[in-house]
Structure 1
């Protein structure tokens, strides 16, 4: 599900506004990473630091909407950012990142070509990101509270679960509502369709207990028995909740309207003084230690299937979709919306609604 989006258009006003400030950087050898929770776990990061002599400092984001403001704020210290596939194009358009020399990265040629050749990973004849990990976003519910067994996104809009529903605080809520409403091209909705989506999400808002920001926050909402239903990062939060043994179990499912797919990749911030460490980090994260490490800490799927045979075998390899790129094709893979500024306007209007 890949297409070019608005490549001949004037850059978004949002991009122009965010491009003004230029970040400053820490000393060489001190690699600063803006990434996701679970992507810089000491279990493998310490191995990288020992092998490379490059010190790392990681800052976590809760949404893809966090990357641009943090980079544009000035005084930034980031060398590597790890946005999702629907955001890497914006980082390039805003001038925050620079092209990647893939010849310097060990293991790059072994990554699924569906990712290394994807739109916005490759643009303007250059490669702009290094695939890291991928997965899907499914739905999750408490098996003892939600009945009958749900099979549709519609359960997130069911009034009988008012106050017990959580949604990720991200513009992707638009995609969920759009699919429920039967709109096919959820990344290029018309003004009329977006108004319908906005109305649907505002209608849902009184049912929402919380728009969650991080994996840990959603886990706590379930652990404290505040929510029974949510969308979820497949394979991560359900494992965490069930491991707490709170007397109930949560179950994931793929709705009949399909689940979303995503891929997170590493980008090199323009002007970084730490490019040597950055390229060492890219190679490490595509190696067996890096891929097994991040899969183990996050629960997501590896992008380099050739190096994970030692840590993923049998049913576990099957669950992590190793060498099952066909699964990607069954998902509604994220793309940068053709009119990102309009989508953000709609999502902000939903959150501002009473």
Structure 2
């Protein structure tokens, strides 16, 4: 070996020791849009020398359809509790046993023996929250804590409402509004739900997933929205408030899980364990502004989240929230018929 070869070898050795070596594999995450803290990803990459790619989706239906097709190349997905049974029953998730991972001790007991993944054999908590209404108080001065905001809107809001096109959320709000209960198959109740939704839709401007800032800058004056997303809008404009519908509102939990045909299983397991660390869970929450299910993360939370009305449910509305569950297939079929008619 001549001196040039020796120098080159020494240089490569120095680069490797300095942390510039080739990454120890990859990790491909498929998650809701604008829901993954870039700093969290950078921290994971630096800790494990793994190159992470994050791809966004806009709904549970989109994610499910993509993974069912196969050939997707993703390792981790973040389904909501309301559809976790579908993912598990169809064999789309790996039984990765998060309950046996080192950081599982940090999971709040409330989120361990959950109905959608008993004992947490498949998933770990990502974030949880509620679906309510968002209102621009410079346009509307009345009570924001009612689903009438979008189901029977006052004149000043007509044509200025956006409703997120999430069937489980919108149906839950409408069912509560007419006095029904979750997963009801009562035809009379569902007829009322259909009629009120169909009558309300012409008063909306759109059914879409808004971009961050659309409400703050006045593109919409009200709508159906999630609590954390509403807090992000309020941070840009103090005219924005979040309403907890007094008639009842749905709550959700999104969960990180490994896809059955993942190519980077070991790196995916590292990531699941990583997000159960309190400091890392707080990074997830501080970005998207939702609560997480990890004990001890409160110590690392931003101060503004500790008192935020969007995160801390007011006592008078605490018993009005109900976690969305998967309804029986026959009931789900009825809901889908109503939803299909609404989307026409």
TM-score range, shorter chain: 0.7 to 0.9
Of 223, 231, 234, the residue aligned with 2:227 is 234
| SS of corresponding position for 1:304 | coil
1:305 corresponds to 2:295:
yes
**Which has the higher Rg, Structure 1 or Structure 2?**
2
Of 141, 144, 168, the residue aligned with 1:150 is 144
Cα distance in 2, alignment partners of residues 165 and 120 from structure 1: 33
Aligned equivalent of 2:171: 174
Cα distance in 2, alignment partners of residues 300 and 126 from structure 1: 21
Of 219, 240, 252, the residue aligned with 1:250 is 240
Cα distance in 2, alignment partners of residues 223 and 152 from structure 1: 20
| SS of corresponding position for 2:74 | coil
Aligned equivalent of 2:5: none
Aligned equivalent of 2:10: none
Aligned equivalent of 2:195: 199
Q: CA RMSD for the aligned pairs?
A: 2.8
CA contact (8 A) 1:153 1:257 kept: yes
> Which structure has greater helix proportion?
2
Cα distance in 2, alignment partners of residues 318 and 106 from structure 1: 31
Deviation at 1:272, TM superposition (A): 1.7
Cα distance in 2, alignment partners of residues 328 and 89 from structure 1: 26
Q: Deviations over 1:150-174 (max 9, x none)?
A: 3321121225122111111110211
Aligned equivalent of 1:57: 53
Cα distance in 1, alignment partners of residues 305 and 218 from structure 2: 29
Structure 1 segment 111-122 matched on structure 2, within 5 A? 111-122=107-118
CA contact (8 A) 1:259 1:331 kept: yes
Task: Structure 2: give runs of 5+ residues left out of the alignment.
Answer: 1-23
Give the TM-score normalised by structure 1.
0.80
Cα distance in 1, alignment partners of residues 120 and 221 from structure 2: 45
Cα distance in 2, alignment partners of residues 192 and 67 from structure 1: 33
| SS of corresponding position for 2:224 | strand
User: Aligned pair count?
Assistant: 315
CA contact (8 A) 1:85 1:335 kept: yes
Cα distance in 2, alignment partners of residues 109 and 188 from structure 1: 37
Aligned equivalent of 1:263: 253
Deviation at 1:32, TM superposition (A): 1.4
Aligned equivalent of 1:343: 335
Cα distance in 2, alignment partners of residues 282 and 328 from structure 1: 30
| SS of corresponding position for 2:296 | helix
Deviation at 1:69, TM superposition (A): 0.7
In terms of mean alpha carbon deviation, does 301-310 or 170-179 score higher? 301-310
CA contact (8 A) 2:176 2:249 kept: no
1:71 corresponds to 2:67:
yes
Task: Structure 1: give runs of 5+ residues left out of the alignment.
Answer: 1-27
CA contact (8 A) 1:242 1:249 kept: no
Give the TM-score normalised by structure 2.
0.82
Cα distance in 2, alignment partners of residues 310 and 239 from structure 1: 18
Q: Deviations over 1:8-44 (max 9, x none)?
A: xxxxxxxxxxxxxxxxxxxx93211111123322211
1:283 corresponds to 2:237:
no
CA contact (8 A) 2:285 2:301 kept: no
